[in-house]
Structure 1
Amino acid sequence: MADRLEFQGKLGWILEEAKEHANRIQKEEIERYFENDDLSDEQMELVYDYLLSQKVAVSGYERKHGRVYAAEEKESTLTQEEQTYLQNYERELQTRVGAEQGSFLPFLERVLEIAKELHDGSVFLGDLVQEGNVSLMLALKESGEEEKILNAVREGIEAFQEEQRDVHVRDRKMVEKVDELDGQIKKLKEEMGRKITLEELALYTDRSEEELRSVLKLAGEEVVDANEEG
């Protein structure tokens, strides 16, 4: 009974964690959480099926027939803008494949499939498709083997996603820095009853003046440079 309750508790934790990330969770996170439970592959399959029934997408998990989530459920993770883009792009592809000749045209449909499969909401679907098409063109120059070409497309899209995630993380950290510094400046101004100097702010925040200058440009806060006083 205790083991059952513990297992249910872990599933509940995973659901809560997924909710905080738009109903998505990484396969590696789930594996880490159950790493001491000695679950068989079949048991882990049941865990993933349960998450699917709760509308949770497990990034990185694949069955023989594809991802753990069905295509229609994946569709629901698209924004309205992405759904419109997808409809227009698919219509354009059908027209091109039907009207033009070219060895690369059938690959465009495969690129779209891979982009939809890898889409996790962190990057606009259209950007993934464009990056996949660029990777496709480069791969076609290097190889004529379909498997190698599609692997190159997948790797290109995944690398682009990772790069964009890093950009988002840096942007978020910069916003946090700006907000934090803004609060510190306002507090120091209130305490001193006047504008503060960059040197005073550096002492107060234990940061270099050079770092503060770069953040202040984003914060839009006015701080007097000691060299400009007088």
Structure 2
Amino acid sequence: MDQQTKFKTALAALAASAETKDRKLTKADVKEFLEDMDLGEEQMKLVYAYLASKHIHVEGAELPKVEDTPYSQEEQEFLKQYEKDRKAFRQCAEEEKVGLFAKAADGDVQAKHRLAEHYMNWVLEIAEDYAHRGMMIQDLIQEGNIGLLIGLDTLGLMEEGLTSEEHLEKEIRHAIRSALDEQEGEKSTGDEITEKLNKMADAISELTEDLGRQVSPDELSLYLDMSLEEIEDLLRIAGETIEVADSQKA
């Protein structure tokens, strides 16, 4: 196995390990997986940056310096309004939170509402960690708020060894990362469909020229080695932009 393949294999194993640790690693974890790579400090920063792009947090890791990506105009307007709105969020005193967490764990609705209001500022801070990765900041905050509510509802079931706040942060981050992963999956599916539509359009042009007439869905199915059902689905997506002959007339 050459060094490049070995490195890619180690990175894949490291990412898989992070999945079992709620996507949180220590620098020691990373060093253990890459101990045979003989990487310098700048190279390790690039590894941390790669893991960050996969929504994997390495505690204490220093990332390469990059210029801050500005928020879009729409995001800036949202954040300006959010800043005004969050001044009304009531904060809890530290000694008050202990009792509220105990009541919320027992299902007290008012305690959950009070804690939700207190931690809405925290949701914004966490959401900003995931900004500029394909979702607008307002959507990230919305997903984070859902995670916060789930965390408050599951306080009585939280993992042993976690504090109440650690449990809330875990659920907030999980909700945001899940939304990002889902969007990335949808983008991948969209790219695949676009590729198939382009392939079908090319096939229609070639067959129409060869046959001197409109091609039928059945002929496309044979030519592209796709099921007739898939061809018909693609034609529905394409709408009137692609014309073919009626199956029965071909």
Q: TM-score, normalised by structure 2?
A: 0.63
- d(CA) in 1 for partners of 2:131 and 2:67? 9
Match of 1:174 in 2: 193
Match of 1:226 in 2: 247
Matched, 1:113 2:125: yes
- d(CA) in 2 for partners of 1:74 and 1:164? 25
For the aligned residue pairs, the C-alpha RMSD in angstroms reads: 3.5
Q: Can you list the C-alpha shifts for 1:191-223, whole angstroms capped at 9, x where unaligned?
A: 222111222222221222111000011123222
Q: Once superposed, which parts of structure 1, at least 4 consecutive aligned residues long, lie more than 4 Å away?
A: 48-52, 55-58
CA contact under 8 A between 1:139 and 1:153: conserved in structure 2?
Answer: yes
Match of 1:38 in 2: 38
Match of 2:63 in 1: 68
- d(CA) in 1 for partners of 2:64 and 2:72? 17
Match of 1:18 in 2: none
The match for 1:159 among 153, 178, 182 is 178
CA 1:85–1:173 in 2, change beyond 3 Å: closer, same or farther?
same
- d(CA) in 2 for partners of 1:47 and 1:111? 32
Three-state SS of the structure 1 residue aligned to 2:115 is: coil
CA contact under 8 A between 1:61 and 1:68: conserved in structure 2?
Answer: no
Match of 1:132 in 2: 144
State, as a whole percentage, how many aligned pairs show the same letter. Answer: 28
Three-state SS of the structure 1 residue aligned to 2:119 is: helix
Match of 2:3 in 1: none
Name the amino acid aligned to 1:158: R
CA contact under 8 A between 1:199 and 1:225: conserved in structure 2?
Answer: no
Shift of 1:67: 6.6
Three-state SS of the structure 2 residue aligned to 1:158 is: helix
Three-state SS of the structure 2 residue aligned to 1:207 is: coil
CA contact under 8 A between 1:77 and 1:121: conserved in structure 2?
Answer: no
Q: TM-score, normalised by structure 1?
A: 0.68
CA contact under 8 A between 1:116 and 1:125: conserved in structure 2?
Answer: yes
Match of 1:22 in 2: none
CA contact under 8 A between 2:207 and 2:215: conserved in structure 1?
Answer: yes
Q: Can you list the C-alpha shifts for 1:88-135, whole angstroms capped at 9, x where unaligned?
A: 22232123347xx93322211111111110234212221111011011
Q: Which runs of structure 2 are paired with 1:9-88 in the superposition (5 Å)?
A: 37-39=37-39, 43-44=40-41, 46-47=42-43, 58-59=52-53, 60-64=56-60, 68=63, 75-88=68-81
- d(CA) in 2 for partners of 1:160 and 1:77? 21
- d(CA) in 1 for partners of 2:246 and 2:131? 47
CA 1:50–1:200 in 2, change beyond 3 Å: closer, same or farther?
closer
